[in-house]
Every structure is written in structure tokens, then in C-alpha cells.
Amino acid sequence: VQSPDEKPESEDAVESPHMVTIRSKCITQLLLLGALDIIQKKYWSRLKGYQKITILEILFSMLEFAASYNSYTNLRLRMQHNPPERPPINLLRQEFTGTCIYLEALHKATSGIDLNQNGELLRKSDYSLDDDDDRVKTNAEEKLASFCGQVLKEAYDFQTSIGDSTNMEIHQVLELRSPIVVKVLKGMCSMENQIFRRHLISFYPLITKLVCCEQMDVRCALADLFSMQIRVLMQ
């Protein structure tokens, strides 16, 4: 029982049951992300095709949860209830970590290249290929193209909706989410050229529209993408 002489805790200091649930889920998911990262880094070549697809789907489900919580609209709404000097409550760390792991696993699955625990390239004789290896590559390519396109589209849609607004909240939201966009653009730089070519028709409009964004790190990542992928297609 609280003493009458003690000052009651501020509302900010008391965590709601909803936030406790979210915090618990986030801690669990961060631990699971760490475990999945170890699996995809060290044991990817030993997994069956269906196991690889399952890992990709688990990674995406966790990433989707964080991305939804960190959406441009949700960040902006929470920012309106925060002091100006404090960032809104977010799961950006979880989303960024998940994005890094997900992209790395997708690149492995689409390239068909497997490494051993020491990072050395495995020969086909060193491990058994599943009969559904092509199915894994096709599935991963669809996931990779869809994920990259979704992140770029959300970034473009939000920037289009704000127009020339000088509202600081909006620019803070863009800054908060820019590391995710940059990571995806860098992931597209590492994408196999043939995969990028096949999905260029959906990528190109989004890429060209983001060129005018204000975030310098995003524009630098776009420049790298033009240099590493699009210039090759024009040769």
C-alpha cells in the first residue's frame, strides 16, 4: 500500500497492460530472431527445402508485426502524444534487426549458394540438394520482390501524401524510418541481377519517385542502386 506521504507515480511511469504485452512479445521475438539468425548463418545448407521456407515465413511474420507497429501513420499518431524532445514509442530496433536477417536469408535462398560454418563455399558434393531446391528459390524470389516493393511503396506513398509540408513531426517520422528504407535499397543492390531485371517493371517507378526524397541517406542508397543494378541493365 502506498504511503500517504509518497508522491503517486506519474501516468507515464505506469505501464499499461497493453504495453506490457507488447514489451513481452518484443523480448520473445528478439530472442527468436537471434536464434533464427544463428540457424541461417551456420546451418542453412543443412536445412531441407520446407525448413528454409518455414524460417522465411517466421521471419516475415515477426517483421510484419514490428513494421505494422512502426508504420508511418502509427509513428506520427504516437508522436503527437509525446514531448517534442522524445521519439515516439517504437519497435524500430526489432524491425531493423528482422530486416537484416530476412534479407540475408532471402539472398541465400535466391542465390542457391551455401556456406559452411566458417563462411567457406560448399561444393554440391559436400551436401545433399533437395529435390525442391528450385521451389525454395522461386518462393524466396517472390518474397524478396514483394518485401522490397512493399517497403519502397510505403515510403513513397507517405512522402506523396505530405506534399511540401514543413511539419516537423512528418520529417521526424521520415528520419526514423529511413534506416529501414536504406537497408532495403542496399539489399536490392545485392540482389542477383537477373532477379532485379525480372521485377524491374514494379521496382522502377518506386525507385525513380523516391529520388526526390529529402533524406540524404536514402538518396545515397538510391545512387548506389542505380550504379550497381540499373547501369548494368543499360550496358
In angstroms, the CA 123 to CA 115 distance is 9
- The predicted structure's pLDDT at residue 113: 57
Average pLDDT along the chain = 84
Q: Which of 21-30, 86-95, 99-108, 210-219 has the lowest mean pLDDT?
A: 21-30
Match 539472398 to its residue by C-alpha cell.
107
Per-residue pLDDT, 212: 84
C-beta separation of 162 from 170 below 8 A: yes
* Mean pLDDT (whole number) for 68-91: 86
pLDDT in tens, 209-234: 898 888 899 999 999 999 999 888 87
167 has pLDDT over 80: no
pLDDT surpasses 70 at 44: yes
Residue 86's pLDDT band, with cuts at 50, 70 and 90, is confident
pLDDT, tens only, 98-148? 999 999 999 999 986 555 555 454 544 444 454 578 899 999 999 999 999
Give rounded-to-5 percent helix, strand, coil for the chain: 75, 0, 25
Would you place residue 4 in the very low, low, confident or very high pLDDT band (cuts 50, 70, 90)? very low
**Per-residue pLDDT averaged across 71-79, rounded?**
90
Question: Quick one: average pLDDT of 136-161?
Answer: 93
Q: In angstroms, rounded to a whole number, what is the distance separating the alpha carbons of residues 31 and 33?
A: 5
Q: In the structure, what pLDDT confidence band is assigned to residue 198 with cuts at 50, 70 and 90?
A: very high
The mean pLDDT of 153-168, rounded to a whole number, is 78
What sign for the dihedral angle of Cα 61, 66, 67, 68? positive
> CA 121 to CA 113: how far, in whole Å?
7
The DSSP code sequence of 26-52 is: HHHHHHHHHHHHHHHHHSGGGS-HHHH
CA distance 190 to 143: 15
pLDDT at 169: 79
Query: Has residue 16 got a pLDDT over 50?
Result: yes
pLDDT at position 23 over 70:
yes
Q: What's the grid cell of residue 85?
A: 524532445
For 115: left if phi > 0, alpha if psi spans -120 to 50, otherwise beta; the answer is beta
Amino acid code (one letter) for 117: Q
Closest CA to 93 of 23, 140, 18, 43: 23
- Pull the grid cell for residue 173: 517520422
Centre a 10 Å sphere on the Cβ of residue 222 and count the other Cβ atoms it contains: 23
Taking the C-alpha atoms of residue 13 and residue 43, their distance in angstroms, rounded to an integer, is: 43
